[in-house]
């Protein structure tokens, strides 16, 4: 519980009241015999946001999605999607959700247009003209049979199927897999447009840049556990400053933690202030900031640093920290204002 | 209460299943129609007298035949044998196993289950829409066989050789011609001797047999995720049941095996015999036993239909309870 003991003063998006949840899970667990594919996962997705699911292969992302849709039966815990429990009424859930599977396969005997017609009539919220519009936007040839389509074309067709119905929730499991960069960009625009239209999107991907571009909040899964939740807006406010501090004394091999030298009024904004061993240009300085950068700039300027470089701390570093299993122990991320522990009821 | 939109979903599922099975249906329909026709036409090629002589030589093996040899010495009986022809059984088995095995394990294997079940349709309705198309397809195939036989009966002309009048000499045992006339050949349409309606109950038996196979294939499919394994399992059961039926017929001591085989319920020629010896309604009785020690005729297809329905119910329950794996 790294954050439970941390009292943060920086206002983060995590502290703001969230709209009603369209997806809510509580202690959700799925076991296959002795193997726990998902362990006590508690999360909620608010209406109108784009929620990212991140994690390495086998982390439990798809298991979570399949539990939400009623493909899998819950071992313990509970979940509600659009107000319905998929265990009790998965049909009602699926009437309110458009789902793109990770490996979307469509009836091979149908032609592209036939597939769109078929699915638009299958779904109560189906909209053929919208699906055709998406297909055209993705430059898809609808006259071909599915059997003769390439993997990318089939993915585009599946996307047109899924973006057709006007459901309140859209669940996309790796929607840009097998697509070229141009189409990827188009898909991300579609996802953003869905949010603008008031729909909620759950988005699973391995491409961190896509998550960064689109998501409002992200959950990291690792080995079936919800390892971390993150508000993207707060992540974008995190920066790392690296610079050289000209040597003023004797050379040293020590790394000094100088956080106690940070002015009191900035202490909540400075995550790390380390000065490394002596090098050819002096001592290496690394400062991690959280929140608005502007108030810290004056203090940074007073440090007389050289070769200053400031860069945003991307999702990649969080992902690596979670992926390598240092999520809860990593001091960097344990202190992140936008990051929340996976344990319910504990927030930063 | 069923909403209009849900009917639309069912309609689309039915359309999709028809589309998927149409090519197989067309091939089997052609095969069964043509075979029914040709099989009836072939009856005329064998002179009844010669046929009787040939069959009499196999009297010792009569117990293996699905019907008594005496029934084969009539045109109605010989045409009725069509329902026991391997070709007819094979086509029926192909349709039922191919369609039944496709329901769950087929869709899972192809990976299409994921997208289909992402639509708001319950698993029971998903399976039942498949069952509807498969059952109606089976019924149409049975009717097409019947139609082929009807065309054969209506278009075939039979020729019989009528020997001159003769008398059997007592004690000496030979035929003494009463005139010197040559044997006379007479021709007549087959429909004068064979009534198409005789085979109504046989067609129903074939449907019941197929429905049971559909049920068992669907049931196995709902437990599995590989279609090839489902087909293998169904065929294993089929062969075991066939061997049990054969052994039950071959050895008196193993006769009890017959009653454990579903082939024991498939009796189209018995139905033909009942119509021939009684009337058109004889095979539809639920009270009068076929013969002593047997059940009423409707009992047998009724059992096949009952177990077919039971297997479908097991399939639905299993399908609803199981986790659906992600596509491989």
In a domain, B229, yes or no: yes
**Position B235 pLDDT exceeds 70:** yes
- CB spacing of A108 vs B110 below 8 angstroms: yes
User: In the predicted model, what is the mean pLDDT of residues B111-135?
Assistant: 94
Residue in chain B closest to A115 (alpha carbons) equals: B16
Residue with the bigger pLDDT between A17 and B29: it is B29
Q: Tell me the shortest Cα–Cα distance from A149 to chain B, in angstroms.
A: 15
CA A94 – CA A123 distance, rounded (Å): 9
CA A243 – CA A152 distance, rounded (Å): 45
CA B99 – CA B319 distance, rounded (Å): 16
- CB spacing of A95 vs B120 below 8 angstroms: yes
pLDDT of residue A42: 94
pLDDT of residue A345: 34
Q: Tell me the shortest Cα–Cα distance from B266 to chain A, in angstroms.
A: 35
Tell me the HSE value of A38 on the side-chain side, using a 13 A CA sphere: 28
- CB spacing of B12 vs A122 below 8 angstroms: yes
Residue in chain B closest to A159 (alpha carbons) equals: B115
Q: Please, which pLDDT band fits residue A7 given cuts at 50, 70 and 90?
A: very low
- CB spacing of A106 vs B19 below 8 angstroms: no
In a domain, B170, yes or no: no
**Position A35 pLDDT exceeds 60:** yes
Q: Tokens 């396969």: give the residue.
A: A105
In a domain, B221, yes or no: yes
Residue B158, classed as helix, strand or coil, is strand
Q: Which of A33, A91, A102, A119 to mutate to test the interface with B (most CBs of B within 10 A)?
A: A91
Residue in chain A closest to B5 (alpha carbons) equals: A124
For A83, other C-beta atoms within 10 Å of its C-beta total 14
Q: Tell me the shortest Cα–Cα distance from A119 to chain B, in angstroms.
A: 8
CA A173 – CA A54 distance, rounded (Å): 11
Give the tens place of pLDDT for each residue, B244-273: 999 998 888 998 999 999 999 999 988 888
pLDDT of residue A213: 87
Interface membership of B115 toward A (CB under 8 Å): yes
Q: Give Rg (Cα) of chain B.
A: 24
Q: Which of B118, B124, B130 to mutate to test the interface with A (most CBs of A within 10 A)?
A: B118
Question: CA nearest A2: which of A315, A338, A331?
Answer: A331
Q: Which of B16, B110, B119 sits opposite A105 (nearest CB)?
A: B110
Q: Tokens 């086998």: give the residue.
A: A58
Instruction: Pull the structure tokens for residue A330.
Output: 């990593």
Angle at B119 between CA B114 and CA B125, to 5 degrees: 95
Interface membership of B111 toward A (CB under 8 Å): yes
- CB spacing of A105 vs B112 below 8 angstroms: yes
CA B269 – CA B275 distance, rounded (Å): 10
B-chain residues near A104 (CB < 8 A): 114-115
Give the tens place of pLDDT for each residue, A258-311: 778 888 888 888 888 888 888 777 888 989 888 888 889 888 888 888 889 988
DSSP letter for B323, please. -
* Tally of structural domains, chain B: 1
Q: Please, which pLDDT band fits residue B2 given cuts at 50, 70 and 90?
A: low
pLDDT of residue B66: 67
Question: CA nearest A36: which of A55, A63, A3, A65?
Answer: A63
Instruction: Pull the structure tokens for residue B286.
Output: 């639920």
Residue with the bigger pLDDT between B176 and A192: it is A192
Q: Which of A72, A104, A121 sits opposite B115 (nearest CB)?
A: A104
**Position A322 pLDDT exceeds 90:** no
B-chain residues near A99 (CB < 8 A): 118
Distance of CA A18 to the CA centre of its chain: 17
B-chain residues near A157 (CB < 8 A): none
CA distances from B101 to A72, B90, B140, B218 (A): 22, 16, 19, 6
Residues present in chain A in total: 348
- CB spacing of A73 vs B321 below 8 angstroms: yes
DSSP letter for B156, please. -
pLDDT of residue A324: 67
- CB spacing of B323 vs A71 below 8 angstroms: yes
CA distances from A113 to A131, A164, B15 (A): 9, 13, 15
**Position A14 pLDDT exceeds 70:** no
* Structural domain boundaries, residue B10: 4-157+194-321
Give the tens place of pLDDT for each residue, B140-161: 999 999 999 999 999 999 888 7
Interface membership of B5 toward A (CB under 8 Å): yes
What is the percent of chain A with per-residue pLDDT over 70, rounded to a whole number?
86
CA B185 – CA B197 distance, rounded (Å): 28
Backbone angles phi, psi at B167, to 5 degrees: -135, 150
Residue B299, classed as helix, strand or coil, is helix
For A116, other C-beta atoms within 10 Å of its C-beta total 27
Three-state SS string across chain A, please?
CCCCCCCCCCCCHHHCCCCCEEEEEEEEEEEECCEEEEEEEEEEEECCCEEEEECCCCCCHHHHHHHHHCCCCCCEEEEEECCECCCCCHHHHHHCEEEECCCCCCCCCCEHHHHHHHHHHHCCCCCHHHHHHHHHHCCCCCCCEHHHCCHHHHHHHHHHHHHCCCCCEEEEECCCCCCCHHHHHHHHHHHHHHHHCCCEEEEECCCHHHHHHHCCEEEEEECCEEEEEEEHHHHHCCEEEEEEECCCCCCCCCCEECHHHCCHHHCCCEEEEEEEEEECCEEEEEEEECCCCHHHHHHHHCCCCEEEEEEECCHHHHHHHHHCCCCCCCHHHHCCCCEECCCCCCCC
Most confident of A178-192, A314-328, B43-57, B220-234: B220-234
Q: Which of B120, B323, B324 sits opposite A124 (nearest CB)?
A: B120
In a domain, B300, yes or no: yes
Give the tens place of pLDDT for each residue, A82-123: 999 999 999 999 999 999 998 889 998 899 999 999 999 988
Give the tens place of pLDDT for each residue, B53-66: 777 777 777 777 76
CA B277 – CA B280 distance, rounded (Å): 10
Instruction: Pull the structure tokens for residue A10.
Output: 């920086």
Q: Which of A69, A72, A105 sits opposite B327 (nearest CB)?
A: A105
Q: Which of B119, B321, B326 sits opposite A66 (nearest CB)?
A: B326
Residue in chain B closest to A63 (alpha carbons) equals: B326
CA A255 – CA A109 distance, rounded (Å): 66
pLDDT of residue B89: 97
Strand partners, B22: none
Q: What rounded mean pLDDT belongs to chain A?
A: 84
- CB spacing of B13 vs A108 below 8 angstroms: no
- CB spacing of B8 vs A97 below 8 angstroms: no
Contacting residues for A299 by C-beta, under 8 A, at least 6 apart = A262, A263, A266
In a domain, B19, yes or no: yes
In a domain, B44, yes or no: yes
In a domain, B42, yes or no: yes
Instruction: Kindly write down the DSSP assignment for every residue of B189-242, as one continuous string.
Output: EGGGT--GGGGHHHHHHHHHHHHHHHHHHHHHHHH-S-HHHHHHHHHHHHHHHH
Q: Which of B115, B119, B321 sits opposite A106 (nearest CB)?
A: B115
CA B142 – CA A202 distance, rounded (Å): 50
B-chain residues near A105 (CB < 8 A): 110-112, 114-115, 327
CA distances from A183 to A133, A175, A179, B241, B252 (A): 14, 11, 6, 56, 73
CA A258 – CA A274 distance, rounded (Å): 6
Residue B80 · residue B198 · CB < 8 Å: yes
In a domain, B130, yes or no: yes
Q: Tell me the shortest Cα–Cα distance from B279 to chain A, in angstroms.
A: 47
CA B182 – CA B169 distance, rounded (Å): 20
- CB spacing of A110 vs B19 below 8 angstroms: yes
- CB spacing of B15 vs A118 below 8 angstroms: yes
């Amino acid at each position: 519980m790294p954050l439970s003991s941390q009292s943060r003063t920086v206002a983060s998006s995590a502290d703001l009241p969230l709209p009603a949840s369209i997806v809510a899970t509580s202690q959700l667990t799925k076991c296959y015999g002795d193997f726990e594919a998902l362990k006590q996962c508690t999360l909620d997705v608010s209406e109108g946001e784009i929620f990212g699911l991140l994690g390495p292969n086998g982390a439990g992302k798809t298991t979570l999605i399949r539990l939400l849709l009623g493909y899998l039966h819950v071992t313990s815990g509970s979940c509600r999607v659009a107000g319905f429990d998929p265990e009790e009424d998965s049909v009602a859930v699926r009437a309110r959700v458009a789902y793109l599977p990770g490996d979307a396969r469509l009836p091979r005997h149908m032609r592209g247009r036939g597939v769109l017609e078929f699915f638009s009539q299958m779904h109560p919220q189906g909209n053929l003209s919208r699906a055709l519009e998406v297909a055209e936007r993705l430059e898809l040839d609808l006259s071909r049979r599915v059997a003769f389509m390439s993997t990318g074309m089939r993915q585009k067709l599946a996307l047109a199927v899924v973006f057709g119905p006007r459901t309140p929730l859209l669940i996309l499991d790796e929607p840009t897999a097998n697509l070229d960069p141009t189409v990827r960009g188009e898909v991300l625009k579609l996802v953003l447009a869905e949010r603008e239209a008031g729909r909620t999107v759950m988005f699973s991907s391995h491409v961190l840049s896509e998550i960064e571009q689109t998501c409002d909040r992200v959950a990291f899964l690792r080995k079936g556990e919800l390892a971390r939740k993150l508000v993207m807006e707060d992540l974008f406010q995190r920066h790392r400053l690296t610079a050289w501090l000209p040597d003023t004394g004797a050379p040293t091999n020590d790394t000094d933690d100088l956080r106690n030298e940070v002015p009191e009024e900035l202490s909540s904004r400075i995550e790390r202030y380390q000065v490394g061993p002596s090098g050819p240009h002096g001592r290496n300085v690394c400062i991690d900031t959280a929140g608005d950068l502007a108030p810290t700039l004056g203090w940074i300027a007073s440090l007389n640093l050289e070769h200053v470089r400031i860069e945003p701390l991307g999702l990649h570093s969080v992902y690596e920290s979670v992926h390598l299993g240092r999520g809860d122990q990593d001091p960097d991320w344990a202190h992140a204002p936008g990051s929340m522990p996976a344990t319910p009821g504990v927030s930063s | 209460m069923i909403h209009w939109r849900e009917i639309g979903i069912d309609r689309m599922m039915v359309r999709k299943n028809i589309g998927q099975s149409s090519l197989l249906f067309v091939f089997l329909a052609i095969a069964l129609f043509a075979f029914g026709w040709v099989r009836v036409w072939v009856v005329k090629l064998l002179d009844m007298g010669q046929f009787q002589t040939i069959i009499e030589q196999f009297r010792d093996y009569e117990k293996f035949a699905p019907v008594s040899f005496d029934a084969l010495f009539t045109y109605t009986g010989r045409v009725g044998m069509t329902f026991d022809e391997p070709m007819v059984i094979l086509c029926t088995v192909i349709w039922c196993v191919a369609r039944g095995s496709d329901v769950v394990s087929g869709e899972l294997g192809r990976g299409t289950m994921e997208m289909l079940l992402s639509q708001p349709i319950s698993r029971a309705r998903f399976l039942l829409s498949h069952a509807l198309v498969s059952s109606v397809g089976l019924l149409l195939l049975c009717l097409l066989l019947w139609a082929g036989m009807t065309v054969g009966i209506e278009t075939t002309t039979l020729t019989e050789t009528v020997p001159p009048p003769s008398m059997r000499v007592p004690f000496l045992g030979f035929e003494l011609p009463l005139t010197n006339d040559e044997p006379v050949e007479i021709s007549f349409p087959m429909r004068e001797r064979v009534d198409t309606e005789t085979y109504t109950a046989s067609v129903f038996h074939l449907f019941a047999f197929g429905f049971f196979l559909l049920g068992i294939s669907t049931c196995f499919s709902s437990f599995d995720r590989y279609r090839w394994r489902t087909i293998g399992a169904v065929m294993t059961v089929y062969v075991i049941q066939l061997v049990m039926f054969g052994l039950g017929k071959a050895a008196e001591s193993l006769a009890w095996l017959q009653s454990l085989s579903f082939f024991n319920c498939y009796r189209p020629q018995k139905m033909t015999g009942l119509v021939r010896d009684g009337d058109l309604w004889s095979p539809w009785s639920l009270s009068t036993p076929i013969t002593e020690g047997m059940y009423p005729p409707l009992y047998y297809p009724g059992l096949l239909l009952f177990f077919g329905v039971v297997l479908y119910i097991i399939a639905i329950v299993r399908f609803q309870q199981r986790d659906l794996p992600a596509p491989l």
